[in-house]
């Protein structure tokens, strides 16, 4: 596809990044090859020397992976995208490429648990300390930035309470203090939110979630400008080696083709479910940015083009009722994964947030009565009926 920027988002999702071979295949080809051959010794020398572009070895580049990268870059509005073996290796590669000992990170407190572990258990060992602040609190962000702060790191909306941060305001703050703003766009995907257009420098993805959308493969991606991502993150990838396999890249790039449709359907189902839960007598509180009484509903409407598929709610009966609701389901999958066509249900306090101290959980608002549902694409009537079993019983 020539000039993807001239096409609408949905068109880029289907067409961008395809380079048809001489076989004339309509669907994108998979290239399961570890290395590539050269016409002659001079060409090999030119490729290795970097004077001629082209494939050398699939740890560096692979045509199927490149199609996924070009497509996702076109969707996020970035100059470059580097695909990685997982969402975590996308975060690791970004940090390894762009930080050095002595730099400092400010991260929102409510990021993915393994991201917190990566920062606190590993990056600190290499001389990169991290401080955590409440996601929506711009004053706390500002106060936490030091002269050596190099990176601000967020997920918006957050997991599991669906809090937001004003990305444009945080990007302005980052720029004025000489830091990079990195946004993990896993919950919204580019179908619902474009952090780069809001001023962020880098977008991170766990492709494992909505980009695949069908729970099949683990993968990740980093999107941003040609210098930091195209050169620096790529440089770490080809050296450090957390490369995406061509087969996984193919699964993900086919997933991208239906991303808009799926995200709209996830959002619609989630809004129905949130409204139904809010009216239920055994539900004390519902967290969903699409509800008018969500504290950041107006920000969600301005910053996102949909509200996403994650709904959290607090039942009136503590852990006992929460577990009963989970155990009474017959269809929903009891698993902490999300971003699948299949709805999943989880008790954050004893699973995803189980390793936090009770004080940390309280700080983050993850109580014993909280349940998180990643709303899938089943009929909303069946999802509601499955939750009603435990709530009504």
Ligand X SMILES: *Cc1c(COP(=O)(O)O)cnc(C)c1O
What is the contact surface with ligand X in residues (CB under 6 A)? 86-88, 112, 115, 155, 184, 186, 206, 208-209, 218, 220
Task: Pick between residue 185 and residue 390 the one whose CB is nearest to ligand X.
Answer: 185
Task: Pick between residue 110 and residue 380 the one whose CB is nearest to ligand X.
Answer: 110
Task: Pick between residue 162 and residue 321 the one whose CB is nearest to ligand X.
Answer: 162
Start-to-end CA distance of the chain, whole Å, equals 55
Task: Pick between residue 90 and residue 106 the one whose CB is nearest to ligand X.
Answer: 90
Rounded CA-CA distance 341/136 in Å is: 29
Closest CB 89 distance from ligand X, rounded Å: 7
Task: Pick between residue 64 and residue 159 the one whose CB is nearest to ligand X.
Answer: 159
The closest alpha carbon to 106, from 171, 152, 170, 143, belongs to: 152
**Where in 48-185 does DSSP place strands (E)?**
80-84, 104-108, 130-133, 149-155, 180-184
Residue with tokens 């009929």: 379
Report helix, strand or coil for 232: helix
Closest CB 288 distance from ligand X, rounded Å: 17
Residue 20 makes CB contacts below 8 A (sequence gap 6+) with: none
CB burial of residue 345 (10 Å; 0-12, 13-18, 19+): buried
Report helix, strand or coil for 136: coil
Closest CB 49 distance from ligand X, rounded Å: 34
Task: Pick between residue 283 and residue 349 the one whose CB is nearest to ligand X.
Answer: 349
Task: Pick between residue 153 and residue 288 the one whose CB is nearest to ligand X.
Answer: 153
With contact defined as beta carbons under 8 Å apart, do 185 and 165 qualify?
no
With contact defined as beta carbons under 8 Å apart, do 162 and 312 qualify?
yes
Q: Which position's Cβ is nearest ligand X? A: 87
Closest CB 158 distance from ligand X, rounded Å: 9
Task: Pick between residue 86 and residue 321 the one whose CB is nearest to ligand X.
Answer: 86
Q: Are strands 104-108 and 130-133 parallel, antiparallel or unpaired?
A: parallel
With contact defined as beta carbons under 8 Å apart, do 105 and 151 qualify?
yes
DSSP annotation string for 238-258: HHH--PPPHHHHHHHHHHHHT
Residue 169 makes CB contacts below 8 A (sequence gap 6+) with: 138
Closest CB 94 distance from ligand X, rounded Å: 12
């Amino acid at each position: 596809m020539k000039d993807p920027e001239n096409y609408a988002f949905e068109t880029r999702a289907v067409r961008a990044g395809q380079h048809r071979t001489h076989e004339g295949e309509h669907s994108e080809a998979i290239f399961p090859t570890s290395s590539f051959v050269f016409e002659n010794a001079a060409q090999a020398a030119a490729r290795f020397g970097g004077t001629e572009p082209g494939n050398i070895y699939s740890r560096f580049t692979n045509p199927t992976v490149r199609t996924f990268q070009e497509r996702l870059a076109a969707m996020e509005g970035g100059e470059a995208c580097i695909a990685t073996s997982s969402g975590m290796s996308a975060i690791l590669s970004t940090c390894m490429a762009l930080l050095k000992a002595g730099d400092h990170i400010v991260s929102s407190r409510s990021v993915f648990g393994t991201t917190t572990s990566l920062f606190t258990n590993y990056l600190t060992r290499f001389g990169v300390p991290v401080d955590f602040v409440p996601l929506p609190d711009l004053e706390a962000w500002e106060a936490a930035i030091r002269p050596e702060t190099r990176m601000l790191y967020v997920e918006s909306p957050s997991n599991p309470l669906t809090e937001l941060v004003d990305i444009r305001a945080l990007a302005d703050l980052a720029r004025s203090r000489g830091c990079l703003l990195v946004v993990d766009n896993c919950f919204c995907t580019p179908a619902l939110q474009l952090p780069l257009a809001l001023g962020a420098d880098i977008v991170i993805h766990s492709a494992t979630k909505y980009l695949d959308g069908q729970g099949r493969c683990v993968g990740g991606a980093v999107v941003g400008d040609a210098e930091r991502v195209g050169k620096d993150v790529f440089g770490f990838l080809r050296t450090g080696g957390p490369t995406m396999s061509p087969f996984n890249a193919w699964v993900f790039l086919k997933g991208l083709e239906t991303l808009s449709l799926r995200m709209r359907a996830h959002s619609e189902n989630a809004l129905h479910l949130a409204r139904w839960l809010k009216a239920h007598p055994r539900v004390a509180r519902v967290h969903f940015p699409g509800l008018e009484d969500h504290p950041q509903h107006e920000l969600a409407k301005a910053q996102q083009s949909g509200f996403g598929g994650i709904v959290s709610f607090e039942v009136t009966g503590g852990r006992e009722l929460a577990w009963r609701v989970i155990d009474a389901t017959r269809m929903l999958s009891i698993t902490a994964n999300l971003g699948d066509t299949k709805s999943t249900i989880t008790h954050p306090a004893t699973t995803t947030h189980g390793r936090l101290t009770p004080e940390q959980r309280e700080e983050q608002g993850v109580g014993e009565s909280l349940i998180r549902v990643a709303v899938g694409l089943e009929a909303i009537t069946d999802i509601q009926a499955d939750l009603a079993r435990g709530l009504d019983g």
